[in-house]
Amino acid sequence: VLRNAVQAEEAEVEKCVRDIMKEKKIEQKDTRFKTGLHISILQISGYKRLYLNVENLRKVPYDSENEEHEEQLIELWNLLMPHENLRARITKQWCDIGFQGDDPKTDFRGMGLLGLVNLVYFSKHYTHEARQILSRSNHPKLGYSYAIVGINLTEMAYSLLKNGALKPHLYNMVSGLPQMEHFHQFYCYLVYEFDKFWFEEEPESIMHFNHYREKFHEKIKGLLLDHDVVLTLQN
């Protein structure tokens, strides 16, 4: 009964709660227990569904023939560089926002469309912070590739979701079904905190990125061990 409950669709949860209470001989009129169990089942089944949704988005390769994909990429540019027009679709200008070459599509290989959706989400919902961090990423000594690091942090958020480390954060944050929006919000937190961490650490050069990325990863994993943790940026 319990195994079925944590796989249930939202519409089936109420029946699952009644079945569990019946099986365990718990009074159906115990509304406090019923409410708590209902929320817990929604959170557990919702976490699994959120992972599948994130995974499905990650599996979508960036396609330059897809109009929606291209629109999102151009939107990213316009959000970050409002006073500078792209001279062409394939141009060295993409390096100005931290892509590796003159066509960003090659940088999305590992995280697929998820990497782009995350970058756009942060730039759209935290535009001031995104432009500020982009500006800081151009620091002559402590600079880093903004977009590439952003995609790298998508991988970090994705792996923490996949291995279950995000459960305390999401269960504390959402008393019900966690949504894609909540994953994006966690990503925004990572981007903002990584930039602070990078400048506090003052790495010798970008060549040491992997070492500091892992150090930051360990810091986040440590924070997520707290059962009361909620890691969000306030808009």
Give the model confidence (pLDDT) of 154-201 as tens digits: 999 999 999 999 999 999 999 889 999 999 999 999 999 999 999 999
Query: Above 90 in pLDDT, residue 71?
Result: yes
Whether 80 and 131 share a structural domain: yes
Within-domain flag for 232: no
Is 233 a member of any domain?
A: no
Question: Is residue 235 pLDDT above 70, yes or no?
Answer: no
Instruction: Tally Cβ neighbours within 10 Å of residue 162.
Output: 13
Lowest-pLDDT range of 29-43, 196-210, 217-231: 29-43
Range of the domain at 140: 66-225
234 in a structural domain: no
User: pLDDT > 90: what percent of the chain?
Assistant: 88
The whole-angstrom separation of Cα 53 and Cα 59 is: 10
* Whether residues 37 and 102 fall in one domain: no
Residues 104 and 213 in one domain: yes
pTM of the full structure? 0.93
> Does one domain contain both 186 and 115?
yes
Task: Compute the distance between CA of residue 172 and CA of residue 50 in angstroms, rounded to an integer.
Answer: 16
Q: Are residues 23 and 54 in the same domain?
A: yes
